Amino acid sequence: MTSTTPSIQFFSGICEELSNVSLRRNPSSGKRIVLMTFNQLKALEKFNSFTKQSLNSMLLTDEEGEIRVTPSSTQFIFGGGEGDELQRVECKFDIEQDEHWERFMRFMNRYAQANGMAYGES
């Protein structure tokens, strides 16, 4: 395995910066729910979304390879005086299989370590 800096992309070649991640479990179904929050998206800056190829999913990359995730929902939250300033983007997806969850957690541990993030209880 080669050492690769963990990254998150919506558009080819544009690495996004994760602001927060929330991990939950649905008590009735047992599904694990991931909510990723981005305070800004580089994909929306300088017409990147018009000039770069869309991946039609989120691409999580680390030394083990790639994980392709299709969010079940993506919310753009606006605020500011006029209500037109992007405050954050929230991407939500479910993980059902244990091996997929374990792989995702290995990615998140690497991403957190590379980006100075730490786990905390809410």
4 has a pLDDT exceeding 90: no
Domain boundaries, the chain: 7-115
Stated pTM of the model: 0.86
As given in the structure block, the two tokens for residue 16 are: 């996004």
Alpha helices in 4-72, H assignment, sequence order: 48-51
Residue type, 92: K
Residue range 65-105, pLDDT digits in tens: 999 999 999 998 999 888 888 899 999 999 999 999 999 99
The span from the CA of 101 to the CA of 95, in Å, is 6
- Domain 7-115: state its class: mainly beta
